[in-house]
Amino acid sequence: MTKVFRRLAEGDLGVVRVILVIALIWIYFQANNSHFLTAVNLTNLTLQTAGLGMISVGVVLVLLLGEIDLSVGAVSGLAGAVVAVLNVKHGWAAAPAILAGIAVGAAIGGAQGAIFAKIGVPSFVVTLAGLLAWQGMLLVVLGKTGTVNITDPGIVDLANKFFSHAIGWIVAVGVVAAYAASNLSRRRRRQAANLPVPSLVAVAVRIGLVAAVTFAAILVFNADRGLPLAVVILLGFVIVFDAITLRTVWGRHIFAVGGNAEAARRAGIKVDRIRIGVFALASALAGCGGILLASRLLAVNQSSGGSDTLLLAIAGPVIAGTSLFGGRGSIWSAVLGAVVIGSITNGIDLLSYPSSTRLLVTGAVLLAAVIIDALTSKRRRAVGR
Amino acid sequence: MAEQNEQHLLELRGVHKRFGAVNALNGVDFHVDVGHVMALVGDNGAGKSTLIKCVAGIHTIDDGEVLWAGEPVSIHGPKDAARLGIEVVYQDLALADNLDVVQNMYLGRELLSTLRRLDEARMEKRSREVLKELSVTTIQSVRQTVASLSGGQRQSVAVAKAVLWNSKLVILDEPTAALGVAQTQQVLDLVRRLAEQGLAVVLVSHNMNDVFEVADHITVLRLGQNVAEFTTKDTNQREVVEAITAGQLHSVPGMQEEALA
Ligand SMILES: Nc1ncnc2c1ncn2[C@@H]1O[C@H](COP(=O)(O)OP(=O)(O)OP(=O)(O)O)[C@@H](O)[C@H]1O
Ligand SMILES: [Mg+2]
């Protein structure tokens, strides 16, 4: 049994750490305001988290490369504005408008990635220029009115639709079944190849934990308005991109480039192509996040994607264990980090502390996370020699 | 000049490589045969690493000929070299620290299963087999990251990668430079085993003891030119060191520059 726990700890230490942090934050706020852990508030918390988490998924990809993208906030605002303006002012249907917004994001990221990879301008400089330029472009797209209100249910529903209880349970059972099937089939494949396999108990514990969290979440959602569509969208993206990074050649090569670009090049990996692809994808995901944020706000305005969107979108994954030094991290850190930040924001709003407190606390959590990141990287280097 | 009748696995004839004003390789001839270890020695800056990088496709040669099993070939990138069966273990190890042993051994040539997913089980199985064939027994888990391995273990992984790919020629650039006594021995044993398994091996080294322990032949480079070739059993360390420091050049660097100008 202790072996099971050690394996769990070794395999997912980063994840366990973040979950502990989230637990502490929740306990603190619940102790100070009994409204915090109600179904209504927890559902609101996930809705507040979805847009930022989506942007962070792209940020994780860029961080895995060992690079940074400072334009994701501005790109999210611009993509949201493109969708809103096309839909409201030009009468485009929701779906093509959304696709156009995402395409704008992808094109911006592709261009920034190419300038970084082909010309050799450091990524933080290219994307800093992008941050300014796309903020300017946002104002141009919005035009004189400055605010565009969204009413088309095709867009509004994204962050405001809830599924019935039954559908919530079906989704939950489906997710758990898929997780169990993939774990067991991986175990079977290893067994067939005569490789050591984790004990069935360990696998069962993992599946049990995932099932417990999933079903608890559905219980909470169903006690309020039901499973939000925004949550389904975000988790869908996270599951897909987690699989892409861990189970495909392209994902493997992202880690390789982030860990040692020269080694990747010598292994015949087209490093430039990986870099450009990742930047394009990250901006497209920032666009998706921007659309979710616009849907939640029911509008796009001049400050969309501004203020602390960028900083929080980068801080989240780093808080949840994705390294700023490249090559280490996971897509799940996007969600977990967003939950940490969302919980702090939500709790502090509930306790009606001033927003200075929110910034100070978030800053302190980020600093602690970065220090842990730097220390573990240093220790790894020390062990490596 | 070079014996035309015997066919080498790899042969370079009159290879030139310039970096701006630096004549890193100036008409170099070189060869290596199946089942043999050829040592490549020379002082710092003699052009050893440059020669290797030309063969590996990291650099393209400015002039000269490269023959593979007697056929002229042109190597324009790491993929070309890999296709011929050339594998290089670099002085500055080309392993990604954040990836594990299996991931590094298959980097750039991953095996796929259905739906274009990585076939982790097959890759792990083959990696274990190859490490075992080469008697690399000190690595506890092939799923630990390379960052956690010792210098000798890293070299072993890099060499095993070469074998995994059924390479015909393995080139090692100073594989023992950063290693202690026991680890050096471990790597030298591995080098001998490669030759015994029928691979051609090129070993770059500054350490004459290493060279005399494993090499069959020795090529000496000096200032980008080859100044001597020895058969190890017919020579001694003094003779080789003399060639390294004072070997006869066929053109003096200064004159070459003037001739070019
Ligand atoms: N990429 C490069 N650009 C410019 N000059 C280079 C480059 N690579 C090598 N050189 C030069 O070519 C010459 C040969 O270098 P090389 O690295 O091949 O020497 P070496 O024999 O491997 O030396 P060492 O024993 O120190 O490793 C040196 O004068 C070096 O400065
Ligand atoms: Mg060298």
Contact yes or no for A246/A33 (Cβ under 8 A)? no
Contact yes or no for B225/B29 (Cβ under 8 A)? no
DSSP result, A238-295? HHHHHHHHHHSHHHHHHHHHHH-HHHHHHTT--HHHHHHHHHHHHHHHHHHHHHHHHH
pLDDT in tens, B65-97: 999 999 999 999 888 998 999 988 876 667 999
Query: How far apart, in Å, are the Cα atoms of B234 and each of B195, B212, B218?
Result: 20, 11, 11
For residue A218 the two structure tokens come to 């559905």
Element (H, E) at B26: strand B22-32
C-alpha span between B58 and A153 (Å, rounded): 56
Q: Which of A190, A195, A380 to mutate to test the interface with B (most CBs of B within 10 A)?
A: A195
pLDDT in tens, B185-227: 888 988 998 999 889 999 999 999 999 999 999 999 999 999 9
Under the banding of pLDDT at 50, 70 and 90, the label for residue A11 is very low
**What region, left, alpha or beta, does residue B90 occupy, with left being phi > 0 and alpha being psi -120 to 50 degrees?**
beta
pLDDT for res B48: 93
- Collect all residues with Cβ–Cβ distance below 8 Å to A269 and sequence separation of at least 6: A253, A256, A257, B107, B108
Residue B171: helix, strand or coil by DSSP?
Answer: strand
The CB of B17 under 6 Å from ligand 1? The reply is no
Q: Could you tell me which chain B residue has the CA closest to the CA of A188?
A: B121
pLDDT for res A15: 79
- Collect all residues with Cβ–Cβ distance below 8 Å to B31 and sequence separation of at least 6: B2, B8, B10, B11, B12, B38
Task: Check CB contact under 8 Å for A256 and B90.
Answer: no
ipTM: 0.86
Note the CATH number of domain A13-161+228-382. Answer: 1.10.3470
Quote the DSSP letter at residue B206. Answer: S
Task: Check CB contact under 8 Å for B94 and A266.
Answer: yes
In A, which residues are within 8 Å of B92 by CB distance?
A: 262
pLDDT in tens, B127-170: 999 898 888 888 889 999 998 888 888 888 988 887 888 889 99
Residue from B22, B30, B206, B219 whose mutation best tests the ligand 1 pocket (most atoms within 8 A of CB) = B22
- The model carries a pTM of 0.86
> CA angle, A278 as apex, A275 and A279 as ends, to 5°?
85
Task: Check CB contact under 8 Å for B121 and A195.
Answer: yes
Element (H, E) at B122: helix B120-133
Q: How many CB atoms lie within 10 A of CB A271?
A: 17
**What region, left, alpha or beta, does residue A120 occupy, with left being phi > 0 and alpha being psi -120 to 50 degrees?**
left
| pLDDT, greater one: A378 or B255 | A378
Question: What is the least distance, in Å, from the CA of A265 to any CA of chain B?
Answer: 8
In B, which residues are within 8 Å of A193 by CB distance?
A: 121-122, 124-125
Residue from B48, B59, B206, B208 whose mutation best tests the ligand 1 pocket (most atoms within 8 A of CB) = B48
pLDDT for res A93: 96
pLDDT for res A226: 96
| pLDDT, greater one: A4 or A150 | A150
Residues with CB under 5 A from ligand 2 (ion): B 49
In A, which residues are within 8 Å of B118 by CB distance?
A: 247-249, 252
